[in-house]
Structure 1
Amino acid sequence: MGAVTTAENGLRALEFLGLGDHQNSSLEDNESSIMKEVPVVIMSSEYVPNRINKCLEEGAQMFMLKPLRQSDIKKLRCHLMKLERT
């Protein structure tokens, strides 16, 4: 399995991917094939179904509710391994 990179929040994740504030106006243009290959997993302590569904509709692979359990990590690992094979 590939490396896992974490970000403390969504803005930091965008900066890591080269989509920081200075490029927000062209965010849609930057969702290239490279971006689509980056699996995004949302982790939050807030369970807000509308927000979760929006994230999944926009391409997030999975939502995980914090605090995480060992079974959540196993589920995530299996899910990401399936993605690598496709």
Structure 2
Amino acid sequence: MDDSAHLEEPHVLAVDDNSLDRKIVEKLLKNSSCKVTTAENAQRALEYLGLVDGTHTSAPNSQPHASKVRMIITDYCMPGMTGYDLLKKIKESSIMKDVPVVIMSSENVPTRINECLEEGAEMFMLKPLKYSDVKELRRHLL
């Protein structure tokens, strides 16, 4: 059996304003051998990634985080900045634009789903996320 996959667990940034949803996503990802960092809103996620005002900050601690994140999974409906807005900021960034972004929502709104996919989201998943959803994410994106 190859244990090398466990040595370098893919780092996922999970963004959700609902603490229970955030914990569920974190637990599912960790059970699927991912390293997980959580953020309670899009602004915190941008700060973690070192992306503020669409530019990459030169803060000494921001670059290492950004370069290690292999996937971002974010809720769509959040106060202040939506997951769609976060997606756009990530795709506008020269260093983060190739990182897959997955949008989650408890609402199945086809126009919203299409809008996110057209803007560059890799996938749109309905909440609550299940273990099978996370396995699919790992298979396709990590």
The residue aligned with 1:4 is 12
* One of 87, 93, 107 as aligned partner of 1:46: 107
Runs of 4+ in 1 over 3 A off after TM superposition: 9-20
Shifted more, 64-73 versus 7-16: the winner is 7-16
Aligned letter for 2:12?
Answer: V
Aligned residues: 76
Higher-Rg structure is 2
Measure, in 1, the Cα distance between the counterparts of 2:141 and 2:100.
Answer: 8
**Against the structure 1 CA distance between its residues 12 and 47, is the aligned structure 2 distance closer, same or farther, given a 3 Å change threshold?**
farther
- What's the TM-score once normalised by structure 2's chain length? 0.45
What whole-Å deviation, never above 9, does each CA across 1:24-75 have from its counterpart, x for those lacking one?
Answer: 6xx59x431x121221010110111111111111111111100112221111
Greater per-residue strand proportion: 2
* One of 105, 127, 130 as aligned partner of 1:69: 130
Alignment of 1:30-45 (within 5 A): 30-32=92-94, 34-45=95-106
Report % sequence identity. Answer: 63
**Against the structure 1 CA distance between its residues 10 and 52, is the aligned structure 2 distance closer, same or farther, given a 3 Å change threshold?**
farther
Q: Give unpaired runs (5+ residues) of structure 2.
A: 1-8, 17-40, 55-88
The residue aligned with 1:84 is none
- What's the TM-score once normalised by structure 1's chain length? 0.69
Aligned letter for 2:98?
Answer: E
